Structure 1
């Protein structure tokens, strides 16, 4: 993956060779971490930039680059079988300068391999995929001061009653923009609601406060923590290996699958700066996060300003997957009107081309940035079937009254394309989904593609595709990712030219939604009228 954002004072294609201790000069407010870069004399970056930082990662890429090393997959054993070790103990890392060789690792056996996993890299993959958690980890009881967890809160939402409400307190430094990422909502709930995971996160500060070494000029610390129980978690990574492939040193974790999540069904999130956008009946063209120019510079030294809105920037994602997938949504205290296609008016339209990854403070003079490096792969699209209630009722009428046969629906979360927010519902930032159903009518097969527009962000008709026309060129599932990409990149409308080229102009059509007299779902009579219009799908 080619990273767009640049580190201001690093050269092109700067490869990280080694990671060292955390340290802070006594006249500074923020913490640095030792790094060694193969074509630079720079020996430190900010700890808040950790979402970007792993051994052999290439920063300031001018071309897409795969980090050196070899791919490996392994299953994490019970934590009681892990041993404490250092980089030096492994013997595969040849870089000797700085504090690299003394950094702590976990060492364990998995499927015949001996794995050396740097503790900082595991913590990065679990917690530090955003700079908010990196900053909070070095503050005593930060999460308790910034969040309040309310169990079984009162709610007037019959469709989405809450089991837990996570309140970001007025004292929080957590940027509200992170809550648009469902993966972050899962991660935050995982840390706050699982006592083992929270203890793991808090152990970072425990060791930090106990083992901190102080001198007249600076403070320093060798990172370590107590991991949560991770037995059975599948890990995909890159690293160095011995000639017989029995010994591995992990440079970067790329994915964690089957993380254990508490048995909770519905979670709400409140932030004091949330402002609800009322849905608009007119068609919008979609908005984006408050963004900087195409290429931004991350200042390795400057602090964030307290006078500016946090911008969102992205780094190479670490993928996660939880074994339980609750529904999540944002909860609002106030609402305001939203005009079609426009973003939150509280956000600035332009921002400085330079940003800081540190929390804002009085010394800061450039906008702070929120780093998002988390890719959520939790399979939870089935949770949003209720968003298609009227659509499925219409299909049920077609089946019962007109002999239309239908397959089991497939529901997919629409992907994030670029920096558009079209893949999220504007009402609560829950995922926008697409339902795909195959039907048969009068001996002909058709695929129906229905997009969730329950937030009334736009009016998009149901797309109908002839199964006969599609059959010679392949399976629909092979084309769905490209259809989704074009849908979200095409001002939230079906890509007609693409369908014309795919199956022919006469082999696809759009059936507009039935209009409703009342706000909300369609009445029974309106659903029936919608169903009748589908009986014309075979007519040219």
Structure 2
């Protein structure tokens, strides 16, 4: 694993050895957490920095580092069989300093092993993959005050009707940039729409408020929460093990596979900062910073400023897979006012080197950042296959009229590249690409078709000779580079790369009419597209 951003006051390759209690001095607004770090005298970091923090994780890496410990995979048992213990009961953690030994664990049996799972580590993997949710967990009913779920939305799109809309309210501290992230959209819906998951999240504050220990000048708390039902969820983790491997202590969860998502097909998302573009001068939001291609330094002590939308910074990803996920799209609360003709992506991306992970406050003077530590691996590109309706109709005509054979289509979501939002449709849904292999007169061709039905771009269908490609390998070996080149090259096919890959004469483009909506074209437009396509391959 390789941390992207640096902590300003920590040394290079700073290994986290232990995590302790949460605490806050009475003259401070934000909460800290006790942290013991190898080769550093620092004894705490901010609780909002928890997405970065697991035992044996290395911060400020100068070379890629894997956390110490042994890999383990297992399935979680029914919650009814979980018990509670402290780290000291395990006997596998040798670090004795601070409050480490008194931190709470869940203990259960799985595949013949006794597993000690720190409660804070499970909460990090479930909830604290970003700093927004870490901060919100310590506020009473924060999600109820910041989000409203509309179960009877007014549908203005008959091709993408919504079952419900998740509205971030004007009171929300949730950064808009997280709403651009499909993984976060799934996560916040997972919490808000599943009572068991939401109750688990809310239990953090309930225990926090009842168990807080107050002293003359500070307050402290030993983290605890009530876990949701996770029976059958597969866990991939690293940790310590006893010599006979019968007892394990988990340092870090790397993957949760099989999380239950409610059976909801289509969800809309609305954020107050995305309803309109405001013009004018004076103090105001000074731009969004969707993704940062260069390294930033996290100021461990600073408060977040109110004067900027959050930048997006990255930490080691915790992977997750749901049993299902919905289609998602952006919803505007009211028509956008855009007198300048430019969208959010054109705002300034200038940002000072230091960033804060805390929520905005009047005392803050450091641009705030949203931490992205979630890698949602749930496969859902097939949900958007209807976007290619005209493309498949064109192929059907080719089959009937010219005896062309086609394979089953593969639908891929395009990746994020740099600060560009080209991988997202105008409604925030993923921009997808369809890949189909066809056969004509004993020759094979790969067809690459990108969804541009939102009108943001126009791009021809790419046709690649399968015979020429076979000399270099399989398409799957190169598709990632093709996608990267497509999105980083002003939304055009990477000609130089394809020339080198298969030769200039072995890939061609077939133009077609821009689809007006959701991949739909008229019968005449489809027929014209088919004719141009057949002419191109028959003259190859």
Q: Considering the TM-score relative to the shorter chain, is it more than 0.5?
A: yes
Name the CA distance, whole Å, in 2 between partners of 1:197 and 1:519.
34
How big is the shift at 1:309? Answer: 2.2
User: In the alignment, does 2:449 pair up with 1:450?
Assistant: yes
Name the count of aligned residue pairs. 529
How big is the shift at 1:473? Answer: 3.4
Match of 1:163 in 2: 163
How has the CA–CA distance of structure 1 residues 132 and 346 changed in structure 2, closer, same or farther, with 3 Å as cutoff? farther
Match of 2:10 in 1: 10
Q: Does the 8 Å contact 1:414/1:484 carry over to 2?
A: yes
Q: Deviations over 1:201-251 (max 9, x none)?
A: 000001001110000010000001011100111111111122222221111
Secondary structure class of the residue paired with 1:359: coil
Name the CA distance, whole Å, in 1 between partners of 2:6 and 2:65.
14
Q: Does the 8 Å contact 1:103/1:223 carry over to 2?
A: yes
Q: Does the 8 Å contact 2:319/2:374 carry over to 1?
A: yes
How big is the shift at 1:518? Answer: 9.5
How big is the shift at 1:337? Answer: 4.7
Match of 1:121 in 2: 121
Mapping 1:45-444, distance limit 5 Å: 45-275=45-275, 289-290=289-290, 294-332=294-332, 333-337=334-338, 344=344, 347-425=347-425, 427-444=426-443
Q: Deviations over 1:160-181 (max 9, x none)?
A: 1111111111111111110111
Match of 1:467 in 2: 466
Secondary structure class of the residue paired with 1:116: strand
Secondary structure class of the residue paired with 1:237: strand
Q: Deviations over 1:260-290 (max 9, x none)?
A: 011111111111111479xxxxxxxxx9945
Name the CA distance, whole Å, in 2 between partners of 1:336 and 1:58.
45
Match of 2:524 in 1: 525
Q: Deviations over 1:340-373 (max 9, x none)?
A: 9x65178444222211111111111111111111
Name the CA distance, whole Å, in 1 between partners of 2:273 and 2:135.
20
Q: Does the 8 Å contact 1:291/1:351 carry over to 2?
A: no
Q: Does the 8 Å contact 2:458/2:514 carry over to 1?
A: no
How has the CA–CA distance of structure 1 residues 450 and 288 changed in structure 2, closer, same or farther, with 3 Å as cutoff? farther
How has the CA–CA distance of structure 1 residues 376 and 237 changed in structure 2, closer, same or farther, with 3 Å as cutoff? same
TM-score, normalised with respect to structure 2: 0.94
Which consecutive residues of structure 2, in runs of 5 or more, have no partner in the other structure?
A: 278-286
Match of 1:500 in 2: 499
Q: Deviations over 1:115-140 (max 9, x none)?
A: 11110000000000011100000000
Match of 1:484 in 2: 483
Q: Deviations over 1:482-506 (max 9, x none)?
A: 2222222333222222222222222
Name the CA distance, whole Å, in 2 between partners of 1:527 and 1:133.
47
How has the CA–CA distance of structure 1 residues 63 and 477 changed in structure 2, closer, same or farther, with 3 Å as cutoff? same
TM-score, normalised with respect to structure 1: 0.94
Deviation larger for 508-517 or 487-496:
508-517
Deviation larger for 43-52 or 520-529:
520-529
How big is the shift at 1:379? Answer: 0.8
How has the CA–CA distance of structure 1 residues 35 and 254 changed in structure 2, closer, same or farther, with 3 Å as cutoff? same
Match of 1:284 in 2: none
How has the CA–CA distance of structure 1 residues 260 and 232 changed in structure 2, closer, same or farther, with 3 Å as cutoff? same
Name the CA distance, whole Å, in 2 between partners of 1:290 and 1:265.
27
Deviation larger for 82-91 or 306-315:
306-315
Secondary structure class of the residue paired with 1:450: strand
Name the CA distance, whole Å, in 2 between partners of 1:347 and 1:197.
36
How has the CA–CA distance of structure 1 residues 516 and 49 changed in structure 2, closer, same or farther, with 3 Å as cutoff? closer
Deviation larger for 466-475 or 152-161:
466-475
Name the CA distance, whole Å, in 2 between partners of 1:413 and 1:519.
15
Name the CA distance, whole Å, in 2 between partners of 1:291 and 1:380.
23
Name the CA distance, whole Å, in 2 between partners of 1:134 and 1:479.
38
Which consecutive residues of structure 1, in runs of 5 or more, have no partner in the other structure?
A: 278-286
Secondary structure class of the residue paired with 1:534: helix
Name the CA distance, whole Å, in 1 between partners of 2:193 and 2:517.
39
How big is the shift at 1:470? Answer: 2.4
Q: Deviations over 1:67-116 (max 9, x none)?
A: 21122111111111111011111111100000000001111111122211
Q: Does the 8 Å contact 1:74/1:235 carry over to 2?
A: yes
Mapping 1:25-44, distance limit 5 Å: 25-44=25-44
Secondary structure class of the residue paired with 1:273: helix
Q: Deviations over 1:404-457 (max 9, x none)?
A: 1111101011122344322212x1111111111011122221110111112222
C-alpha RMSD of the superposition: 2.1
